[in-house]
Each structure stands twice: as structure tokens, then as C-alpha cells.
Structure 1
Amino acid sequence: MASSFVPAQVARLPWTLIFVVLAIGLFGGMCLFSAAGGSMRPWALLHFVRFFALLGLAVAMSYVRPETYRDFAWPAYGVVILLLIVTLVVGTIGGGAKSWLELGVIRIQPSELMKPVSVLLLAGFYGSLPPGEIRRFGAIWPPIAILAVPVGLIIMQPDLGTTLLLLFAAITVMFLAGLPLWYFIGGGLLVAAAIPIAYNLIMLPHQQKRVLIFLSPEEDPLGAGYHITQSKIAIGSGGIFGKGFLNGTQSHLHYLPEQHTDFIFPAMAEEWGLAGGLFLIGCFVVLFRWGMKVAEGAKGRFARLTAAGLTMTIFFYFAINLLMVVGLAPVVGIPLPLFSYGGSAMLTVMICLGILMSIDRDTRRNRRA
């Protein structure tokens, strides 16, 4: 009976995903409202405007067929590369990296856009590769060439967090495509051997300090270890049910740095406690489970690899941010997706969700046919 009142195009939307995304975004807006001392400005109002506008974009993207995204991946790659080059020349510095580009009324981080684009390119490459070629060298060097240019440009900014997310998502697609395991073992050994070189020759002093403080934050609790120390205090002081909405002291008294972006989870945990943290984590688990189900049911290798790669892209945002705020990973400037304040990261995640919904819609369309 309900279907007679609800248009088919609306009824066929993935409402489980949409409700979960709404829960995350609205909860994030409430925390930003509290972090500003009970004010919609400067963070909550813009967060809500961006969130609903980009959610509408994601829903609109779901009506585009997955093949269209595959066909436009290379032009998008070229545009983002151009934006990265322009950013190195005339970009603005934020968080110690020259990674922001001012475009009139908007301010974007082009490196963020490379994450879904790289997943689409790699999924398209492996989707068209004959199965017999997957264990040959021709299956590894084109993806390395595709990634080398953007990774090099992002490292020059330098933005370690975005570089890691880009590489993790790419490695996920390559692993799921069926590349031999020894490629990943050998690559891991090479990375381990390159860490001392990267630390001494590539990392800036503030990035080196982040790594050292990650290993021993108590050595400088009022200096380089301040972020992690205050983050742990905020999370621990929340207890089971928190201090209550608008009652956080670490955030309101400005002890907690970057409380609206990278360290919004501790600000939330102080007011909502373990219960709020588990609710938020549960929402993300539902989101990831939905994404992997889309990958499992997708028709064709390209769609499966794309869905899995985009889901894991969002997962790496989530996992690295949580590991970072509890002191289990260095502070690398990764926001909590859909929850933190920030337009570029939210745009990237919504693009991922829009393509995922497109693949889901295409799968259900094929089943009905």
C-alpha cells in the first residue's frame, strides 16, 4: 500500500545508507555546535549547509550509470593533476602543507579528489585486464605509473596523511584484483627499508616530531605531545555516558586543539561518553557493511573493485582518525568523515557514496531485468 503513495524512484533509494549518513552528519553538527560554545557559527551552520548540499549531490550521482564514471576517470585524473600543480605554485598553506587552493568563494584541497579518481582508474584497469595477465609484470607497472605522479605532487606539498590514504586505497584495489601476494610482501619490505630515508630526507621537522611524540607523547606533554595528551584526557573524562551536551570542559576551555576537525571525536566522547562513541562507531560499521555488500553483489569486475575500493577509502579515513586520537597512530591530519568540519574531505566521501549508490542501483536494475 505504501508503494502506491511513494514514487518508485524515491522508494528505490538505499534508505539504510541514507539514514546512517544522516545520523553521522547530524551528530557531527551537534558536536560542532557544542564545540563553538553553543553557537551555530563558525562551524555548525556551514557544516549543515555543506552536508545537505553534498548529500543531494551523492543522491543525484546515484542516477548516473557506473560505466559513465569509468569513462570520465581519465579526464578527471588530468584535471586533478593540473589542480595539484597549480596548488604547488599558488596554493595556500594549511596544517603545515601547501595543499589548499583558493577558487573565489570556495577553498578546496585537490589532493582529496584524487582518492576516488585513483580507485576508478585502477578498477577500470584491472576490470579490463585479461585474467591470465594478472600475475605478470604488466599488471603492476601501469598502476604504479598512474599513482606516481599524484603521489609525488602531494608529497611535495607535503601532505603525509593524504598520501597514506591514497596509497592504502590503491593497495586495496590491487590486492582484491588478485595480484600475487609476494608483490605486497616485497613492497612492505621496501617501505620498511625506506622509512629511515623518508624520515631524514622527506619529512619536515614538525612531521618528524609527530612521529617521535607518537612513540613517546609523555616526553613533551605541553609541547609536541600536547594534542595526544589532551585528546586522551578528553576521551577518558567522558566516562560511560559523558558530561552531557554542551558541558565539555576540554573543548570549551580550549585545552583540546583542533576540536572541530581532526580531534572532534575526543570532544564528542567527553560530552557523550562511551555510549556516544559506540553509537558513532556502530553507524560507521553499518555504512561499511552496506558498502561491502554492494561490492559483493555488483555485476562485473570493475563495479566490484570500485565499490570495495571506495568503501575502504572511507574506512581508512575513519580508522586512521580514531587510531590517531587515541595515540595509536601519528597525528597526520585526517578528519573523521562526515563528522568533522571540512568541505574537501566531505566532498570526497560524498562522491564515494554517490558512486557506491550508482553501483547499487545498477545491480538492482539488472536483477529486475
Structure 2
Amino acid sequence: MRINERRSLWRRMKPYFTVFDGPLAMILFLLLAVSMVCMSSAGVDFPGRMEGQVRNAVIAFVVMWAAALVPPQTLMRLAVPVYTFGVALLIAVFVFGVVKKGARRWLHIGFDIQPSEIMKIAMPLMLAWYFHQKGGLVRWHSFLVAAALLVVPVGLIQLQPDLGTSLLVLASGFYVIFLAGLSWKALAGLFIAGAGSLPIAWSMMHDYQRERVMTLIDPTTDPLGKGFHIIQSIIAIGSGGFSGKGYMQGSQSHLEFIPEHTTDFIFSVYSEEFGLLGILGLLFIYLMLIARGLIIAANAPNLFTRLLAGAITMIFFTYAFVNMGMVSGILPVVGVPLPFMSYGGTAFVTLGLGIGILMSIQRHRKLIQT
């Protein structure tokens, strides 16, 4: 009788322990292993930083597990409320937000939250729902409505100001619009319009944003000021050579020449200590993550899940590309973390939620009615 009871209990509990997509879970495990090794070195001068990284990973795991249990049909029903709630919070930030370091990005509700992070998932969720409602009847005015849905939160985030997050939310929405069938002619028109509006955009940028662009063009114009951080980051990456200086042997990071070396600039620490071989290994892990996400998107059973999975996957690509580009001096510094590597609880949770949604789409693909 006890054996039968145990079997019955396992049958009831089994769905909660088999929600993970094997390949995706293995890729994430490898990435977190690299992250913990790198953080144990980068955070050695920051008491509690390593413990915080472990805590963030555990919270992200729980969020991922919970999201993987939620059927895509439920996600579809939540799209409009979550988007509306996110926009309402952004408006609340604009009116009641907490100012830190000259930016109004947080709401204090006993503790500080950054509502803009919600939009990184809410935006593709909303647009995927919108295009799914249109079915195969997506016309040019449908893209205009989608663009309006995208511009509202992006504009509110930019007013904080938070260029990095606004670009990520913009990218997450753009990927859905592109995957929904935006024509190449329209893309060319957007590119031309964007290029033509650069002078206007430049005049609307904040002083610190202009300084970042000018520093990107030539950091040596102010090597001890605005260009110091990026110069030191480039030195750290280059000094790693082929095989790196070795674990805990990075001089640029441990002598504190690299700024924010547990957060935005952690790739510089990793590159100095593990060199080109380590960089290629990390790039391979990210490529596997992106490839697996695109496979899940390709196998998704309906338009909503295809668009959502494709956009979330490309968000991971954007995170990695922008972070590596900015610390290498290819892109302006905009404060974008390296996925599952940089220290930060909010980003970890957001990324864990994205992984969980991909797992949910893969797990429920046979149960979804097209």
C-alpha cells in the first residue's frame, strides 16, 4: 500500500519536476558555472557580492521554474493586464519616483523596484498577443498600432532617463514586429528615417549621453576623465592574450582600474583572466542558448508562441552583444548587463523569467490549439 501511495504521489508531483527543457537547462547550468567562477574573482574585494550572486541565481531559478509551469494560453490572457500594469508603474515613476544619481527610475514600496524591467518581458508579450489576434490579416496599419504600443513605454523610460533599458525594451518590441512580417522595404524606410533624424535625436539627448558617444569615437581625448573607464576595459581585454592571466590574476580588476567590474564590466574581468580561449568558450555557450531558443521558436505551434519565443531569444542576443560591444569600445556605454554573468537581482529575475517562458512554450507545444 505504501508503495502504491508513493507511486501515486510521484504521479501527482511529476509534472512539477519535469518542466525543464533539457538542452536549455544544461546551457544555463554551464553559463551559471562560468558566472560563479568569474564572480568569485571579480567580487573578492566586495564582501557579500558572491553570496548575493548565488542568492540572485536561486531566485531566478525559482522564477524560471514557476514560469515554466504556466501554460502559454495563460500568458496570452495576462499580456494586456501585465502591459497595462507596467505602463501604469512607469507613469507612477515619472510622478512619484525615487531619484538616485540624477535619474528617476525607482519606486519605493517598502523597498525599491525598477518598473522598467517589467517591460522587457511585458512588451514582447503584448505585441505577440496583438499580432496573434490579427491572425493572418496583418496590414500596414497593424504595424502602426504596434509601433504606438512600443513607443509609449520606451518614451516613458527614456524620460527617466535610462537609455540602456529603453533600447532593450525598444529592441524587444521591434523583434516581435519584425518577426510578424515587417517588410524589408519598411525596414529600409525606417533606417533612412532614423539616419535623417540623427541631428534631432542628438539635440534631445542628455549631456551625459552625448559624452558617451563622443567617448566612443575617441576615448583618448579625455584619458583621465570620461575616457578612463573604457580605456582600462580595453587594456584588460587585450592583456588577457590567448589563454589569459589566470584565475584571480587580473591586475586591471584587482587593482580597481576597471569600474563596475562585478556588474556592467564583468566581461573585462573575465577576458583578462581567461583570455581568448575563455572568450570563445563563453561565446559558444551564448550561441547555444540563442540557437536553442530559435529552435523552440521554430517548433512553436502558433503565432503567439513563435513571436514570443523568437523575441525573447533575440533579447538574450541583444544583452550579450551590447554588453560585449560597449566594454570593448565598439558601442557607447549604456549600462546593459551581461546575461547571467553581471551582478544584479532584477536582471537575473527578468532573464530567468525569459528562460522559463521558453521552457513553457517547449513543454506545452503539443497541448496548444493552433
For normalisation by structure 1, the TM-score amounts to: 0.91
Distance 1:263 1:88 in 2: 29
Alignment partner, residue 28 of structure 2: 21
Displacement, 1:232?
A: 0.7
Measure, in 2, the Cα distance between the counterparts of 1:317 and 1:221.
Answer: 27
Q: 2:179: which partner in 1? A: 176
Mapping of 1:163-242 within 5 angstroms?
163-200=166-203, 202-242=204-244
1:8, distance to aligned residue in structure 2 (A) = 5.2
Report if the CA contact (8 A) 1:115-1:169 is conserved: yes
Q: Is the 8 A contact 1:242 1:270 kept in 2?
A: yes
> CA-to-partner distance for each residue in 1:27-73, whole Å, 9 max, x for gaps?
2233222123366x332111111111211221221111101111111
* Matched residue type, 1:127: H
Query: Does 1:119 pair with 2:124?
Result: yes
Q: Return the letter of the residue paired with 2:336.
A: I
Measured against aligned partners, the alpha-carbon deviations of 1:75-111 in whole angstroms (never above 9, x if no partner) come to 1112111221222233334565322333324x33211
Q: CA deviation at 1:304?
A: 0.5
Alignment partner, residue 88 of structure 1? 94
Aligned counterparts of 1:147 and 1:221: Cα–Cα separation in 2: 38
Match of 1:276 in 2: 278
Q: Which amino acid aligns with 1:165?
A: L
Q: Which residue of 2 aligns with 1:63?
A: 69
Partner amino acid, structure 2, of 1:299: P
Alpha-carbon distance in structure 2 between the residues aligned to 1:268 and 1:211: 25
More divergent stretch after superposition (10-19 vs 256-265): 10-19
Q: Distance in 2 between matches of 1:341 and 1:333?
A: 12
Amino acid at match of 1:32: M
Q: CA deviation at 1:225?
A: 1.1
Offset from partner CA, 1:177-198 (integer Å, 9 cap, x none): 1122222221222211222112
Root-mean-square deviation (CA), in Å?
Answer: 2.1
Q: What SS does the corresponding residue of 1:363 show, helix, strand or coil?
A: coil
| Cα separation, 2, equivalents of 1:42 and 1:152 | 36
The 1:83–1:366 alpha-carbon spacing in structure 2 relative to 1, beyond 3 Å, is: closer
- The number of equivalent residue pairs is 359
Distance 1:16 1:212 in 2: 42
* C-alpha separation in 2, matches of 1:91 and 1:83: 10
Answering whether residue 51 of structure 2 is matched by residue 45 of structure 1, we say yes
- Provide, for residues 102-156 of structure 1, a one-character-per-residue CA deviation record: whole Å limited to 9, x for no partner: 3324x3321121011110111111112142x32x332112112211221111111
Work out whether residues 216 and 332 of structure 2, in 8 Å CA contact, stay in contact via their aligned partners in 1: yes
- How far apart, CA to CA, are the structure 2 residues paired with 1:12 and 1:79? 28
Q: Encode CA deviations 1:189-236: one digit per residue, 9 max, x unaligned.
A: 221122211211x21111100001111112222111112101111111
Matching residue of 1:34: 41
Unaligned residue ranges in structure 1 (runs of 5+): none
CA distance in structure 1 between the partners assigned to 2:284 and 2:140 by the alignment: 41
The match for 1:128 among 114, 130, 133 is 133
The structure-2 alpha-carbon separation of the partners of 1:205 and 1:239, relative to structure 1 and needing over 3 Å to count, comes to same
Distance 2:73 2:308 in 1: 11
CA displacement at 1:176 relative to structure 2: 1.2
Checking the alignment, whether the CA contact within 8 Å between 1:248 and 1:270 is kept in structure 2 is: yes
Indicate which of 98, 101, 106 corresponds to 1:100: 106
Query: Do the aligned partners of residues 64 and 281 (structure 1) sit closer, same or farther apart at CA in structure 2, a change above 3 Å counting?
Result: same
What secondary structure sits across from 1:262 in the alignment?
A: coil
Q: Which residue of 2 aligns with 1:156?
A: 159
* 2:3 paired residue number: none
Structure 2 unaligned runs (5+)? 1-6
Assess, with a 3 A threshold, how the Cα gap between structure 1 residues 321 and 252 changes in structure 2: closer, same or farther. Answer: same
Secondary structure in 2 aligned to 1:99?
Answer: strand
Q: Distance in 2 between matches of 1:93 and 1:240?
A: 43
In the alignment, the residues of structure 2 paired with residue 102 and residue 17 of structure 1 have an alpha-carbon distance, to the nearest angstrom, of 35
- Residue 365 of structure 1 deviates from its aligned partner by 5.0
Amino acid in structure 1 at the alignment position of 2:113: I
TM-score (normalizing by structure 2): 0.91
Secondary structure (helix, strand or coil) at the match of 2:365 reads helix
Q: CA–CA distance in 2 between the matches of 1:340 and 1:333? A: 11
SS at match of 1:62: helix
**CA deviation profile, 1:241-266 (whole Å, cap 9, x unmatched):** 21121121111111001111110000
